[in-house]
Amino acid sequence: MTLQARPDERTPSIGTDSTTLELDAHVFHSWSAQGALKPLVIAGGSGCEVWDDDGKRLLDFSSQLVNTNIGHTHPKVVAAIQEQAAILPTVAPAHANRVRGRAAERILEVAGRPFSKVFFTNGGADANENAIRMARLVTGRDKVLSTYRSYHGNTGAAVVATGDWRRIPNEFARGHVHFWGPFPYRSEFWSTSPEQEVERALQALGRLIEAEGPGSIAALLVETVPGTAGVIVPPPGWLAGLRALCDRWGIVLIFDEVMAGFGRTGDWFAFQNTTLNPEGVVPDLITFAKGVNSGYVPAGGVIIPPAIASEFDSRVFPGGLTYSGHPLAMASIVATIDAMREEGIVEHARRIGAEVLAPALAGLADRHAVIGDVRGLGVFWALDLVEDRETKAPLPPAEMARIKGALVGAGLLPFVQDNRIHVVPPCIVTEEQVARAIATYDAVLP
């Protein structure tokens, strides 16, 4: 792989942290108690690095929110946004626009058959929202099944489809039922092997469908690889089992690829990964966002096959957004997919995951008893930190906070969630940068 050269690798000095933090006092932050916040200042970025107002550089192994797959300020993507802004910076979604059509064409090319259309949204949450809506409309049913270990976004139905704590204060949407998916390391099924875990998880889900009434269930929504919940790579057979259950009962199968898509697992989409999905299962709908353009301009969407799209040939689809297919976002999508193809970025992510990250993280676990489990694919990994490997008791929040602070202090920006460090660098990460990160984890972990 030949990495795209950045036009300027200097670290600019923009001001002082105190100035930015004073301005930030006017900002109401997500998922936070506002009173004690002192957020990390990020003033600029290039490739796999970011820096603050004073020029302190951090190796970004969070990819922000696991979305800057192509890295920061990729010149081809930046140039495409600038060029489009000079041509037509916005257009209503009812009109036809060339760059929007090109973006849909690029996405369909990498999604493969049988998909034929893309409904564009502003991000991943409203992508899931509209996929749920489509499933309800085409089936005439109401219920949506999703796992407890999941995150699907912060809009009405998406946050209730979410399985973690963020669902509980927001349970205003109707018709949602949750179940346990497979997780061999922390099994809910007393399993002793990945094969048994899948068998028991599918058995439990099948019974849940029967108990809820198959004729009442519109959709089964799953993250192909649950991300925020812990980079839980499901064992082979899980996706095939979901497909069989949905086919049996006429349920729409939705794969949420918002975090796992566009190179993160070493494939364009996680469901295309032959380790994860040896049977080649294809969902009915795919939702995406994040890596489709590395978040340079907000964008997401639903990838739709003819069987569902044709349902709305003669009936109105009752959904839309002012910025659906926004031209700046569309230009960034076209440039991102083109650059990823030209530079072999997806293949690079696969190789660096298998040949560099996997053995390096396994070695890290050998040296640190605090690491109970290492799991992942491509550039999508998690270290499950525990007090004791036998009991698997999670490392306490205070110790996780100490580790996070020490990593930042040592020059690495981590993604820390609950008792886990998610190792999720951009897909363009180099072997040298992986070595730097591993050395930093080595120095900080007990």
Do residues 17 and 54 touch, judged by C-beta distance below 8 A?
A: yes
Note the CATH architecture for domain 17-73+344-444. Alpha-Beta Complex (3.90)
420 dihedral zone (left: phi>0; alpha: psi -120 to 50; beta): beta
Fold observed for domain 78-342: Aspartate Aminotransferase; domain 2 (3.40.640)
Mean pLDDT for all residues in the chain: 95
Confidence at residue 36, expressed as pLDDT on a 0 to 100 scale: 85
Q: Considering only CA atoms, which of 253, 212, 225, 209 is closest in space to residue 151?
A: 225
Q: Which pLDDT belongs to residue 94?
A: 97
Q: How far apart are CA 119 and CA 33, in angstroms?
A: 35
Does the pLDDT value for residue 102 go beyond 70? yes
**Burial label, 269 (beta-carbon count in 10 A; 0-12, 13-18, 19+):** buried
C-alpha distances out from residue 331 to 21, 106, 155, 257, 302, Å: 32, 11, 26, 21, 18
How does pLDDT run across 225-255, given as a tens digit for each residue? 999 999 999 999 999 999 999 999 999 999 9
Q: Which residues contact 2 (CB under 8 A, 6 or more apart)?
A: 343, 344
Q: What are phi and psi of 372, to 5 degrees?
A: -85, -30
Q: Dihedrals φ, ψ of 201, to 5°?
A: -65, -40
Residue 7 has a pLDDT of 44
What does the pLDDT look like over 103-132, one tens digit per residue?
A: 999 999 999 999 999 999 999 999 999 999
Nearest to 290, CA basis, from 280, 300, 277: 300
Q: Per-residue pLDDT for 5 more than 50?
A: no
398-422 confidence digits (pLDDT tens): 999 999 999 999 999 999 999 999 9
> Does position 47 have pLDDT exceeding 90, yes or no?
yes
Residue percentage of the chain with pLDDT more than 70: 96
DSSP letter at 94? Answer: T
pLDDT in tens, 278-322: 999 999 999 999 999 999 999 999 999 999 999 999 999 999 999
> What are the domain boundaries of the chain?
17-73+344-444, 78-342
Please state, in angstroms and rounded to a whole number, the distance separating the CA atoms of residues 43 and 61. 17
Is the separation of the CB atoms in 327 and 244 below 8 Å?
Answer: no
- The structure's pTM equals 0.95
Is 334's pLDDT higher than 50? yes
- The answer to which of 8-12, 75-79, 194-198, 305-309 has the lowest mean pLDDT is 8-12
Contacts of 125 (CB under 8 A, 6+ apart): 152, 153, 154, 155, 158, 159, 300
- pLDDT per residue over 133-144, tens digit each? 999 999 999 999
Reply yes or no on whether the pLDDT at 8 is more than 80.
Answer: no
Burial class (CB in 10 A: 0-12, 13-18, 19+), 27: exposed
My answer on whether omega of the bond before 114 falls inside 30° of 0, hence cis, is yes
Q: Let me know if the fold of 17-73+344-444 is the same as that of 78-342.
A: no
Tens of pLDDT, residues 141-161:
999 999 999 999 999 999 999
